[in-house]
Amino acid sequence: MTAHDRTIPSLGQRDPVLRIQEVDKTFNGGVVALRRLSLTVNQGDFISLLGPSGCGKSTALRLIAGLMRPTLGRILWEGGQGSDDLGVVFQEPTLMPWATVAQNVWLPFRLRGKSFNSVKDKIMEALALVGLEKFAGSYPRELSGGMKMRVSIARALVTNPRLILMDEPFAALDEITRQKLNDDLLSLKARTGATVIFVTHSVFESVFLSDRILVMAARPGRIIKEIQVDAPYPRGIEWRTSAEYARIARETSDTLHSTLEPGEAH
Ligand SMILES: Nc1ncnc2c1ncn2[C@@H]1O[C@H](COP(=O)(O)OP(=O)(O)OP(=O)(O)O)[C@@H](O)[C@H]1O
């Protein structure tokens, strides 16, 4: 069995990965970035955090990543947290320009003291998952924006983490590349069983990708509604053009707009 051969438990049998319990985050100066955030993330979930600027999406990811601590409440990893639990993908691919694609994907292992050769198979497997095995020896400057983002995704996947955090990973890409990467991300999820928390401003992206959409509001940052998307995976053009997709997009959009103050809607 390879690192990526995970079976995806069917709905209703999924084990929890992470529990966020009544978390508040107040910054110095009194900004309440999050209030009473509660969320159980189950294995295989694809959860979108959707909301206007300033509703605390990035703060939620930083808390989950352990980059800062909640002011109140708890974040509990099922079975405790280890160093291989998280993979992170940011809006910028953040690749090292002087290193090859394969060396960039090696980074999480390198930080744990593992030599390139000892994990080469895993690096090539992760690159194959994003369709870039032929570019292992290329440098980032030789790649398109979409390809750089694939390298960033491969780097997040390579340790086979229990949870992948994605902070608006496709926001800077053109629409065609974005849709292609949305399709590829879902096929990756189908093959690896990855559990994903995905931050986005896009209603359409959240409805296409997620099985749970958490719509958030600002001041204070909080979840105002969870919208379930029951469409089966794999999803493709049929899902994107279905009446049910349009219905859920409308519901999500209406919920999102209800969170905005007059003058904020666009
Ligand atoms: N280090 C900080 N110190 C003080 N206030 C902060 C800090 N980080 C974030 N905030 C505030 O907390 C609130 C939530 O910010 P956050 O970046 O989590 O929102 P967001 O939903 O990710 O926004 P965006 O979509 O614009 O990235 C905002 O009001 C922001 O100004």
128 is written with which tokens? 């194959």
Quick check: 33 pLDDT over 70? yes
Quick check: 162 pLDDT over 70? yes
From the CB of 57, is ligand 1 less than 6 Å away? yes
Q: What is the pTM of this model?
A: 0.90
CA gap 113, 131 in Å, rounded: 27
How much distance in Å is there from the Cα of 218 to the middle of ligand 1? 10
Nearest CA to ligand 1 atom 2: 27
| ipTM of this complex | 0.96
From the CB of 189, is ligand 1 less than 6 Å away? no
pLDDT digits (tens, 9 = 90+) for 121-156: 999 999 998 899 999 999 999 999 999 999 999 999
More confident call, 59 vs 4: 59
How much distance in Å is there from the Cα of 63 to the middle of ligand 1? 12
pLDDT digits (tens, 9 = 90+) for 171-203: 888 999 899 889 989 988 888 888 999 999 999
CA gap 242, 156 in Å, rounded: 32
pLDDT at 233: 86
Q: How far is CA 185 from the centre of its chain?
A: 10
How much distance in Å is there from the Cα of 223 to the middle of ligand 1? 15
In the chain, what percentage of residues exceed pLDDT 70?
Answer: 92
Torsion angles phi and psi, residue 81, rounded to 5: -100, 140
Q: How far is CA 240 from the centre of its chain?
A: 20
* Stretch (H or E) spanning 159: none
Torsion angles phi and psi, residue 167, rounded to 5: -105, 90
How much distance in Å is there from the Cα of 168 to the middle of ligand 1? 14
pLDDT at 168: 93
